[in-house]
A and B are shown apart, each in its own frame.
Chain A
Amino acid sequence: MNRISRILIANRGEIAARIIRACRDMGISTILSVSQADKESLPAQLADRTICVGPAPPKDSYLNVDYLITAASGTHCDAIHPGYGFLSERPELVDACEKNDLIFVGPSSENIRKMGNKLTAREIARECGLPTIPGSQRVERLKDAIDATEEMGLPVIVKAAAGGGGRGMAIIETMAQLQSVFDALSFEVHSAFGDGSLFLERYFPNARHIEVQIIGDRFGRVIHLFERDCTVQRRHQKLVEEAPCPVLSAEQRTNITRAAVELAKSIGYESCGTVEFIFDQDTDKFYFLEMNTRLQVEHPVTEEITGIDIVKEQIRIADDYPIGYSQEDIHMDGHAIECRINAESCYKDFAPCPGLIEHWRPPQGKGIRLETHCFSKYKVPPFYDSLLAKLIVKSNNRNEAIDLMHTALKDFVVQGINSTVPFHIALFEHPDFLKANINTTWLEQVFMLQFRGKNESN
């Protein structure tokens, strides 16, 4: 305990700023590793010191374990916080930290390895008694895929065992589709993840994406911080997240959160993490999907309804403190929603739109929280993901939160580059979304068609 007095933050953008602020509150000094493109960024200005680890391309800077370890050791850090993305779920970084007497702010490499492979994760969940999606083992050949599909029945989803971040997936509605997609996907997955293994699962067309935030410590205690609903997705990428889920009954909530805690306990999970589920709205049943062994982008909505600072808890746990709360201390209050504001042209198929932000004027007021690294005259570099800001609102109930978000979005001025603000405004006016009458395909199959139509006729 109290071993952590200086942390290297091995990330960039809004999450780097978020972690730096948490460290400041805790009296921990911060070293930010930056690429050459991020030397003047907002988190670079907030950190106590920056260290340039390489040129702009991530593989030569943020993704190089050796550079980051060298930066941490060379600046006398006690710990490394990986944020999300980049190296956050790479067991190699955890092992390298251990070898170099650095504390990794996250779970053990064993936890990451177990949950990093979706097939292994599914097996562990099944052994733990969690409902899992009916699915195949690893399939190598098209013939095996066809056999598995015939057994399960269409539609199915083909996934990469080593995949993540919504990549390496295809929904199959006909056998002909399976035949045309299989080999190409296998090839794509192999080049993206270095492992071409695919597996199939039954696909639920009318499902919600619900995930449970859990926190485990190094003393075997695991608690949950309730659930988030991330059903608004485009190409498996989350765009809006809210807490709590608007459709779960109290009993369903008890069951899904209990399942998440049991899974985390069974692997001795010791950090913050997220257990993801598919909730089939046709049968009201939930199924384990996967577990994310890191801090998640959408963690603020959970913080808003529970009052827990997840980043601080994560750092305390890494420093061998027990969780500061028991399950009975955790209560939900009100409703929180987050919009991911991306540098993308929502009228042009969400094409990335980096460049100079001429004018940046975010909304302010009671119940509004903004996590961002942007400011007026900031130049959004083209090398990284397109997230500009997370706009989070918190209110007494869902309807009030929606109203507050709608007003906040209308106040949000981003000039110079295209952002997804107009998309979100339209979303928060749509009756299906307002009534929570949606599923994971709704955005693409219903909303986007109307959104595109409207903007073409204008």
Chain B
Amino acid sequence: MNGKGEFILDEEDLERILNLVEKSDFNYLELTANGVKLVVSKTPFQGSSPSSIHSPEKETPPQKSSYDIQSGSREAPEEHQAQAKITVKDVSDEGKVYVRSPLIGTFYRAPSPGAPPFVEIGDMVNEDMTVGIVEVMKVMTSIKARVKGHITEVLVKNGELIEYDQPLFLVEP
């Protein structure tokens, strides 16, 4: 919001809203004002299913101020929960653990252009900490570390196309 009572979302607002939703018991938030539509959902990403709430672009051209944020969370679908368990293939020879991409898409290291990255080499992360974002057709999904430890290696560049299950970070538990 700005001082003139106009409804403008900036990155700070967005982060605040995201944090609030993340901590709340609500799974879904939809906010529309002055042609700006914000959809925040903790429910699993449903791709292009017609009933999906993540596809406002289908009817209207994409707006710069329209965000779709979906956060990988405790409500993740079964297969995502399965991923949450650390499996043998996730562990490198030196006992380090790979953080892998939950989706195909464009990888972002920071919440917005110019902002500092979510994590850097040497940072301590825990299971629920966001380490990056993957964007599929303008839908953003946050990537959780799913492991506790220090980041020892960043394996992909900001803005790079990442594949499903691609290793993104190496973490020393």
Contacts and interface: CB of A to CB of B under 8 A. Distances in A.
B47 interface: yes
B164 A36 contact: yes
B103 interface: yes
Nearest to A52: B163
Interface of A: 36, 51-55, 57, 59-61, 64-67, 69-71, 74-75, 92, 96
B48 A66 contact: yes
Contacts of A66: 47-48, 136-137, 139
Pick from B139, B163, B166 the residue with the most CB of A within 10 Å.
Answer: B163
Interface in B119-173: 136-137, 139, 161, 163-166
A455 B136 CA distance: 53
A54 B164 contact: yes
Q: Is the interface of B mostly helix, strand, loop or mixed?
A: loop
Contacts, number: 54
Given A65-B48, A66-B47, A67-B104, A53 B163 contact: yes
B161 A74 contact: yes
Contacts of A96: 48
A65 B47 contact: yes
B105 interface: yes
Contact of B104 (A53, A57, A65, A92): A53
B137 A69 contact: yes
Given A69-B137, A70-B137, 4 more contacts: A52-B164, A53-B104, A55-B164, A74-B104
Interface in B37-96: 47-48, 79
Nearest to A90: B48
Contacts of A65: 47-48
A71 B164 CA distance: 10
A52 B165 contact: yes
Nearest to A61: B164
Given A36-B164, A51-B163, A54-B164, A67 B79 contact: no
A52 B136 CA distance: 14
B37 to A, nearest CB: 19
A92 B52 CA distance: 14
Contacts of A60: 47, 79
